[in-house]
C-alpha cells in the first residue's frame, strides 16, 4: 500500500474514491490514527476486522464531517447529546446513541447503539467531506493497530502495526503526529444521563465548565461492550509496570521532573500531562523497537487528561 505524506486536496479526493471502491484508508485524527472503511460497505468493514485481528462483536466508531450528518446515523438523540456534540465537535468525543437504519449490525456488533464522532484534524475532515459528497455516508475507523496493541500516533506506527495485513490498493495518509495522542472520550448517551465509559482528553470537569452538564462515570457497569473497556488493552510487547524498582536497562517513562534511575533508558520526559498523552504511545512503541523486556511508567497525578493516561497505563500494564 502507498503512504501519502501531507496529502493534497487531489490526493485526498482519490483516497475518498478508494474508500468508495471498498478499499481501506488509514488516516490521522487528533487522537490516534484510524483504519477507515465505508461504514455502509459490509465487505470493506469485514476487512477492517480481519486486518486488525479484532473479534466481530466489538463495534466501530462512525466518523462524520459535522453534526449535520448526525441524524443519518442516530435517532432519538437526547437534548444533552446535542449539547455535547455542539460544544465538542470537531473534537475527541464519541457519543453512543440509538442507531438509525443506516447503522447495520456489521458496524454495531449487533447492538442497537452506534458510536459517532467528528474528528478534529484537517486531513480527516477533508477526507470525510469528499467521501460524503459521493455518498452522504460515514467512515468507520477503529484505531489502526492490531487488536489489543498500542494505538498508532504516526503513519510509520500504522505501517509497523498493519503493513503486513493491508493490501496494495489500501492507503495510509500521513499527517504527522497526532496532537492529542490518546483515544477519544466515549460517552454513553443512550440513557437519561450521560456517562463516560472511556476517559479521554475531554473530561467531566471540562464538560461541566462548558455545558453545565453533569456527566457520570461508569467504566464497569455499562451495558455497552467496548473493547477499550477490557481489563487488558493498549499493550506493548515489553512488560509494563507502574512501580519502582527500575533496573539498569529498563525503559522509563515519567514526567520531566522525575529523575531517570541509574542505567534506565528514558523513553519520554513530558513537561505537561497533555504532552504525556501525546508522547505515551510513541514511547511504548520505541521501547518495543529497542526490544526492551521491561518498561516502567510513573503515572501522572491529578485530574484532567491525567486520568485518561492512568486508565490506559492501567490496561497496558495488566496482562
Contact between 238 and ligand TXA per CB under 6 A:
no
Q: What would the x/- binding string for ligand TXA be over residues 20 to 49, using CB under 6 A? A: ---------x-xx-x---------------
Q: What would the x/- binding string for Mg ion be over residues 126 to 165, using CB under 5 A? A: -----------------x----------------------
Closest to ligand TXA by CB, 227 vs 286, is 227
**Can you name the residues that pair with 196 across neighbouring β-strands?**
187, 217
What is the three-class DSSP state of 19?
helix
Q: Are 102 and 64 in contact (CB under 8 A)?
A: no
Contact between 90 and ligand TXA per CB under 6 A:
no
Sheet holding 265-268, edge to edge: 239-241, 294-297, 251-253, 265-268
Closest to ligand TXA by CB, 69 vs 227, is 227
- Nearby residues of 164 by Cβ (< 8 Å), 6 or more positions away: none
Q: Which does 60 bind (CB under 5 to 8 A by kind): ligand TXA, Mg ion, none?
A: ligand TXA
Contact between 141 and ligand TXA per CB under 6 A:
yes
Contact between 183 and ligand TXA per CB under 6 A:
yes
User: Which residues between 193 and 222 bind ligand TXA (CB under 6 A)?
Assistant: none
Pick from 228, 236, 251, 270 the residue near ligand TXA by CB under 6 A.
Answer: 228
Measure Cα distances from 200 to 53, 64, 73, 91, 205 in Å.
24, 19, 23, 11, 12
Contact between 31 and Mg ion per CB under 5 A:
no
Pick from 159, 186, 277, 280 the residue near ligand TXA by CB under 6 A.
Answer: 186
* Rounded Cα distance, 154 and 247, in Å: 30
Measure Cα distances from 49 to 35, 142, 221, 236, 248 in Å.
10, 9, 26, 20, 39
Q: Which does 96 bind (CB under 5 to 8 A by kind): ligand TXA, Mg ion, none?
A: ligand TXA
Cell 483515544 belongs to residue: 183
**Can you name the residues that pair with 139 across neighbouring β-strands?**
38, 63
Contact between 85 and ligand TXA per CB under 6 A:
no
* Rounded Cα distance, 60 and 54, in Å: 10
Helix (H) or strand (E) holding 158, with range, is helix 155-162
Nearest to 215 by CA among 224, 225, 203, 223: 203
CB of residue 17 to ligand TXA, shortest distance in Å: 21
CB of residue 10 to ligand TXA, shortest distance in Å: 24
Going by the DSSP 8-state scheme, the letter that residue 115 receives in this structure is E
Closest to ligand TXA by CB, 72 vs 94, is 94
Contact between 94 and Mg ion per CB under 5 A:
no
Q: Which does 186 bind (CB under 5 to 8 A by kind): ligand TXA, Mg ion, none?
A: ligand TXA
Positions that interact with ligand TXA (CB under 6 A): 29, 31-32, 34, 58-61, 94, 96, 108, 111, 113-115, 119, 141-143, 183-184, 186, 224-228
Amino acid at each position: 500500500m502507498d503512504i501519502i505524506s501531507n496529502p493534497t486536496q487531489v490526493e485526498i479526493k482519490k483516497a475518498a474514491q478508494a474508500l468508495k471502491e471498498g478499499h481501506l484508508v488509514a488516516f490521522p485524527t487528533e487522537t490516534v490514527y484510524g483504519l477507515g472503511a465505508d461504514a455502509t460497505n459490509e465487505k470493506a468493514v469485514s476487512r477492517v476486522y480481519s486486518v486488525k485481528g479484532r473479534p466481530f462483536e466489538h463495534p466501530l466508531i462512525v466518523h462524520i464531517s459535522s453534526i449535520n450528518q448526525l441524524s443519518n446515523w442516530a435517532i432519538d438523540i437526547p437534548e444533552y447529546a446535542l449539547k455535547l456534540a455542539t460544544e465538542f465537535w470537531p473534537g475527541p468525543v464519541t457519543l453512543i446513541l440509538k442507531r438509525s437504519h443506516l447503522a447495520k449490525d456489521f458496524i454495531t456488533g449487533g447492538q442497537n447503539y452506534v458510536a459517532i464522532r467528528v474528528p478534529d484534524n484537517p486531513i480527516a475532515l477533508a477526507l470525510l467531506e469528499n467521501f460524503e459528497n459521493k455518498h452522504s455516508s460515514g467512515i468507520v475507523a477503529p484505531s489502526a493497530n492490531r487488536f489489543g496493541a498500542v494505538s498508532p500516533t504516526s503513519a510509520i506506527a500504522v505501517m509497523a502495526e498493519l503493513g503486513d495485513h493491508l493490501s496494495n490498493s489500501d492507503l495510509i495518509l500521513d499527517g504527522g503526529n497526532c496532537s492529542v495522542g490518546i483515544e477519544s472520550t466515549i460517552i454513553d448517551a443512550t440513557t437519561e444521563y450521560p456517562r463516560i465509559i472511556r476517559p479521554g482528553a475531554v473530561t467531566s470537569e471540562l464538560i461541566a465548565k462548558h455545558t453545565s452538564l453533569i456527566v457520570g462515570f461508569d467504566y464497569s457497569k455499562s451495558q455497552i461492550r467496548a473493547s477499550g473497556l477490557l481489563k487488558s488493552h493498549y499493550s506493548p510487547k515489553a512488560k509494563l509496570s507502574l512501580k519502582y524498582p527500575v533496573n539498569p536497562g529498563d525503559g522509563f517513562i515519567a514526567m520531566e521532573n522525575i529523575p531517570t534511575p541509574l542505567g534506565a533508558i528514558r523513553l519520554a520526559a513530558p513537561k505537561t500531562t497533555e504532552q504525556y498523552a501525546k508522547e505515551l504511545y510513541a514511547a511504548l512503541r520505541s521501547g518495543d523497537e529497542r526490544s526492551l523486556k521491561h518498561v516502567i511508567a510513573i503515572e501522572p497525578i491529578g485530574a484532567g487528561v491525567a486520568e485518561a493516561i492512568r486508565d490506559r497505563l492501567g490496561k497496558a500494564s495488566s496482562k
